[in-house]
């Protein structure tokens, strides 16, 4: 079946340099990986720079098994969001510091099902709704 969704997030006030601090042309960059989310040899899970922290796009992979979770788009979206929460916990950043979420969907018709899962992960949050991007592989 393959992945039906991938989710990435951008966090404000994560670790990094103080906003508007004088810089000598270099940004402080901090990278982090946690075993509680899937680790890729190609990228780190999070990179902090300036006053932002970019979380790499998370696939619906169970970090314990290294395999795609069983089920449909709801189960896959839930796993992506669990991975994001695990990464945030590993860098001591609260979920409410998320300022942007991108959803990469195989089928845009799945957006309502994904939004249903998304709202259960962030029920009381001021996080804006995610931006959906439809990717169609051939």
Closest by alpha carbon to 58, among 35, 93, 86, 83?
83
Residue 10 pLDDT level (bands cut at 50, 70, 90): confident
Q: CB–CB of 12/68 below 8 Å?
A: no
> DSSP E strands: which ranges in 1-138?
5-12, 29-32, 46-49, 52-58, 61-62, 67-68, 98-105, 131-134
User: DSSP characters for 87-114?
Assistant: HHHHTT--GGGEEEEEEEES-GGGHHHH
Average pLDDT, whole number, for the chain?
Answer: 82
Domain count, the chain: 1
pLDDT digits (tens, 9 = 90+) for 51-104: 788 899 999 999 999 999 999 999 999 999 999 999 999 988 888 888 889 999
CATH code, domain carrying 42: 3.30.1330.40
In degrees, rounded to 5, the angle at the alpha carbon of residue 110 between the alpha carbons of residues 53 and 117 is 55
- Helix axis angle, 73-90 to 111-121, nearest 10°: 40
Neighbours of 70 (CB within 10 A): 11
Domain housing 92: 5-19+27-134
User: What was the pLDDT predicted at 27?
Assistant: 62
């Amino acid at each position: 079946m393959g992945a039906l969704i991938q989710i990435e997030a951008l966090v404000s006030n994560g670790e990094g340099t103080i906003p508007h601090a004088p810089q000598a042309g270099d940004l402080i960059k901090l990278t982090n990986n946690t075993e509680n989310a899937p680790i890729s040899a190609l990228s780190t899970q999070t990179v902090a720079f300036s006053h932002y922290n970019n979380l790499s796009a998370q696939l619906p992979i169970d970090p314990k098994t290294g395999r795609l979770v069983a089920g449909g788009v709801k189960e896959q979206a839930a796993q992506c969001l669990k991975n994001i929460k695990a990464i945030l916990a590993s860098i001591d950043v609260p979920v409410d510091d998320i300022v942007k979420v991108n959803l990469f969907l195989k089928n845009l018709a799945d957006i309502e099902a994904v939004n249903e899962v998304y709202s259960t992960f962030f029920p009381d949050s001021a996080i804006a709704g995610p931006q959906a991007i439809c990717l169609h592989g051939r």
